Each structure stands twice: as structure tokens, then as C-alpha cells.
Amino acid sequence: MRAHFVSDVHGAAEDLASAAEGADIFICLGDLLLYLDYEDPRQGAFAEVFGPEITAEYVSLRVAKKFDEARALTAAAWDRISGGQDPAARTTRFLPIIERQYDEIFSALPSSTLLTFGNVDIPALAAKHIRSGQRVLDGEVVEIDGLRFGFVGNGLPSPYRTPNEIAVAEFDERVRRLSDVDVLCSHIPPAIPELTFDVVARRFEVGSDSLLELIERTQPRFALFGHVHQPLSSRMRIGRTECLNVGHFRATRSPFVLNL
């Protein structure tokens, strides 16, 4: 069985069809939307709303971990472009951009895709764009050719306040449903420093203690995830389990291929 995995698609719809070529199973581990492109401030929903100059400054502040200053920057920019309109109306401005991105992504994904959402996704807005045969899984197990695949999506609370972060207790409860799996699929990694540290952003991303505990206790054959775009380590063995970061698809445009 040949499985192709992608994660952190971030708007790169045009290469999804070729990424699925030759796969018996195609699995997407989330982060479909592109809000910010840290390499190119002209790209993404944020740039469409605020423009590339504000976006570049905002990215610089976030990289420096000046989150209050970054929020103040966007609040001031919103006042200028909205004429004092209620900041809650910002959602209305972003909505058609998000809808367009989701339509492009789900149109490009194979009809048999197995999917879980990442921390920047908005599942409620994605729902109407999901095509027949595409299946979203979260806290669920599916059996394929005798192998059990367990899925858990979302992110955990972070200083970045991304839209699909859920409480630790809720995330842990979903992980507890995934006992006795052969292949563990998640958006975020287990909480291991080498797997969570991004060497370009120079920061630790949030990993999951409950994923690590599940791996240590049940020893699935593989644990696959994304989320960390430039990890200090993209793979690590825990007991018999191979922990594998499947890559930042927007940057690589290539799937992670696993023969099972």
C-alpha cells in the first residue's frame, strides 16, 4: 500500500493533484488556508486585506514575538481602511477570501482524500466545500487493508491565537479515542523539543503531551504530522514508532511517500 501525505498546504492548490499521483491512499494533515506568507508578504488573505507593506511589518513583529505590537498595528490599519467600522466586521472582509481558498483546495484534492484540519483552518467554513468521497476525521480511527489509521486535528493554545486552537483537555480526549492504531496521523507533533523547534522561525511550536504519551504507551508503527515548517529534526524513533514530519507542502510541493 502506497500512502502519500501532505500537510501545511497553505493555499498551494495547484500542485495537489500531482502530489496524489500513484497513491493508493492520499492523506492531508491540515493547514489548508494561507493567511500569511512569511517569505512573500504579497501573498495570503492578510495581504489581500491590509496590503503587502502592513503585512511585512506585521510578520516582522510576530517573528520578534512582539504580539501586542502586532495586534496594535492591525487594529490601526483596520481603522484606516474601514473608516472606524466595528473590528468584528473584519471577518466579513476575510470571508470571501477564505471561501475562495477552500473552494480551490477541495476542488484540487482527490475525491478519496482522508483529511484532518490544522490550527489555521476554520472547519465551519470549510464544510460546504468538501466534495463527495473526501472524509474529515478527528478523534477517529479508520481501517484500511487491515491497518488502523487514527486521526486528530486542530492545534493547541499558543501566543499566535490561530483560529482552530482547542483546549488541551478537549484535544487530549480526542487522542484517547485512538488506542491500538498502526498509523497515528495528527496536525501537530508530539511534545518533543527536536520535533517542535523551527530553526528558521527560531521558536518552539506547540506540541502535544498526550500524543507523546500515546506513542510511548501503544507504540504505533508510524506517527505522522506537520505544523513545524522547518523542524530541527524531521524524524525520530520512540521505541518502535517512527515519528515523521511529512513536510511543509507549500514550500516543497511534494508529498511524503510511505510504503505500508
Q: What are the pLDDT digits (tens) for 146-201?
A: 999 999 999 999 998 999 999 999 999 999 999 899 999 999 999 999 999 999 88
Provide the pLDDT for residue 83.
67
- Domains along the sequence of the chain with CATH: 2-32+113-259 (3.60.21.10)
Q: What are the pLDDT digits (tens) for 221-244?
A: 999 999 999 999 999 999 999 999
Mean pLDDT of 247-260: 97
Note whether 162 and 46 are within 8 A (CB).
no
Q: How far apart are CA 114 and CA 135, in angstroms?
A: 5
Whole-Å CA distances, 167 to 49, 75, 122, 178: 29, 26, 16, 18
| Residue with more model confidence, 86 or 111 | 111
Q: What are the pLDDT digits (tens) for 125-158?
A: 999 999 999 999 999 999 999 999 999 999 999 9
Q: How far apart are CA 69 and CA 123, in angstroms?
A: 29
Q: What is the mean pLDDT of the chain?
A: 95
Provide the pLDDT for residue 190.
98
The yes-or-no verdict on residue 80 having pLDDT over 90 is: no
Provide the pLDDT for residue 179.
87
